[in-house]
A and B are shown apart, each in its own frame.
Chain A
Amino acid sequence: MNLLVRLGAWSLGSMQRLGRGSLFLLAVLWRLPGALVQFRLLLGQLYSVGVLTVQIIVVSALSVGMVLGLQGYNTLVDFNAEASLGQVVALSLVRELGPVLTALLFAGRAGSALTAEIGLMKVTEQISAMEMMAVDPLRRVVAPRFLAGVLSMPLLAALFSAVGVFGGYLAGVGLLGVDGGAYWSQMQAKVDFYGDVMNGVVKSVVFGWVATWIAVFEGYDAPPTNEGVSRATTRTVVHTAFAVLALDFVLTAIMFGN
Chain B
Amino acid sequence: MDADDLVILEGVRFSHGPRRILDGIDIRIRRGSVTTIMGPSGTGKTTLLRLIGGQLRPQSGRVVVDGEEVPRLPRRRLFELRKRMGMMFQSGALFNDLNVFENVAFPLREHTALPESMIRDLVLMKLHAVGLRGARDLMPSELSGGMARRVALARAIALDPMMIMYDEPFTGQDPITVGVIMQLIRHLNDALGLTSIIVSHDVAEVSAISDRLYVISQGKVLDHGTPQDLERSPSAWVQQFLHGRPDGPIPFHYPAPDYAEDLLGPDAT
A interface residues (Cβ-Cβ under 8 A, vs B): 124-126, 128-129, 131-136, 140
Pick the contact of B85: A128, A132, A135 (CB < 8 A): A132
Contact of A124 among B82, B96, B106, B107 (CB under 8 A): B96
Q: Is the CB of A132 within 8 A of B110?
A: no
Can you name the residue of chain B whose Cβ is closest to the Cβ of A133? B107
Complex CA distance for A28 and B90, rounded to whole angstroms: 29
Q: How large is the interface on B (under 10, 10 to 19, 20 to 34, 35 or more residues)?
A: 20 to 34
Does the CB pair B95–A126 fall under 8 Å? yes
Partner of A132, one of B82, B94, B95, B111: B82
Asked if B79 contacts A134 (CB within 8 A), the reply is yes
Q: Which residue of A lies closest to B152 (CB)?
A: A129
Looking at A128, A129, A131, A136, the one whose CB has the most chain B CB atoms below 10 A away is A129
CB <8 Å contact, B110 and A129: no
Verify A135–B107 contact, CB threshold 8 A. Answer: yes
Contact (Cβ within 8 A) B106 A128: no
Whole-angstrom distance from the CB of A101 to the nearest CB of chain B? 30
Partner of A125, one of B83, B91, B155: B91
Distance in angstroms between the alpha carbons of A134 and B87 in the assembled complex: 11
Pull 14 A–B residue pairs with CB atoms less than 8 Å apart, ordered by A: A124-B91, A125-B89, A126-B93, A129-B87, A129-B152, A132-B85, A132-B87, A133-B82, A133-B106, A133-B107, A134-B83, A134-B110, A134-B111, A140-B110
Interface centre among B79, B85, B93, B94 (most CB of A within 10 A): B93
Q: Return A28 CB to nearest CB of chain B, in Å.
A: 16
**How far is B94's CA from A124's CA once the two chains are assembled, in angstroms?**
8
Residue of A nearest to B109 (CB): A135
On whether the beta carbons of B110 and A131 are closer than 8 Å, the reply is no
Report the bound CA distance from A129 to B155 in whole Å: 10
Chain B residues lying within 8 Å of A124, measured Cβ to Cβ, are: 91, 93, 96
B227 within 8 A of A: no
Given A129, A135, A136, which contacts B89 in the complex, CB threshold below 8 Å? A129
Instruction: List CB contacts (< 8 Å) of B88-116 with chain A.
Output: 89-91, 93-96, 106-107, 110-111
Q: Is the CB–CB distance between A135 and B55 below 8 Å?
A: no
Expressed in whole angstroms, the minimum distance between the Cβ of A143 and any Cβ of chain B is 14
Find residues 121-172 in chain B having any chain A CB closer than 8 Å to their own CB. Answer: 152, 155
Partner among B53, B87, B110, B152 whose Cβ is within 8 Å of the Cβ of A135: B110
Q: Does B80 contact A (CB under 8 A)?
A: yes
Q: B82 — which chain A residues lie within 8 A by C-beta?
A: 131-134
Q: When chains A and B are docked, how far (Å) is the Cα of A124 from the Cα of B93?
A: 6
Q: How far, in whole Å, are A77 and B60 apart by their CA atoms in the complex?
A: 78
> CB-CB < 8 A to B94: which residues of A?
126
User: Complex: how many Å from CA A131 to CA B107?
Assistant: 11
Task: Annotate B69-90 by CB proximity to A: 1 below 8 A, 0 otherwise.
Answer: 0000000000110110101011
- With most chain B CB atoms within 10 A of its CB, the pick from A131, A134, A136 is A134
Closest 9 CB pairs of A and B: A129-B93, A125-B93, A134-B79, A134-B82, A132-B87, A125-B89, A134-B83, A133-B107, A135-B110
| Residue from the set A125, A129, A133 with the largest chain B CB neighbour count within 10 Å | A133
Q: Report how far A15 CA is from B118 CA in the complex, Å.
A: 51
Shortest beta-carbon distance from B85 to chain A in Å: 7
Q: Which residue of B lies closest to A132 (CB)?
A: B87
Chain B residues whose C-beta falls within 8 Å of the C-beta of A129 in the assembled complex? 87, 89, 93, 152
- Asked whether, in the complex, the Cβ of A131 is within 8 Å of the Cβ of B55, the reply is yes
Which A residues lie within 8 Å of B93 (CB)?
124-126, 128-129
Q: Which residues of A contact B107 (CB under 8 A)?
A: 133-135
Q: CA of A180 to CA of B90 in the docked complex: distance in angstroms?
A: 66
Given contacts A134-B111, A135-B107, contact A128 B83 (CB under 8 A): no
Query: Do B53 and A132 touch across chains, with their CB atoms under 8 A apart?
Result: yes
Q: How far is B106's CA from A224's CA once the two chains are assembled, in angstroms?
A: 23
Bound Cα distance A131, B89 (Å): 12
- A129, A132, A135: which has the most chain B beta carbons within 10 Å? A132
Chain B residues in 8 Å Cβ range of A134: 79-80, 82-83, 107, 110-111
Q: How far is the CB of A218 from chain B (nearest CB, A)?
A: 20
Residues of B within 8 A of A131 (CB): 55, 82
Give, as a whole number of angstroms, the nearest-CB distance from B224 to chain A.
Answer: 25
Q: Are B79 and A132 in contact (CB-based, < 8 A)?
A: no
- CA A93 to CA B100, docked complex, whole Å: 47
CA gap between A131 and B96 in the complex, in Å: 16
Q: Which chain B residues lie closer than 8 Å to A128 at the CB level? A: 55, 89, 93
B158: min CB distance to chain A, Å: 9
Contacts of B106 in A (CB 8 A): 133, 135
Q: Which one of A125, A126, A133 contacts B110 once the chains associate, using CB atoms below 8 Å?
A: A133
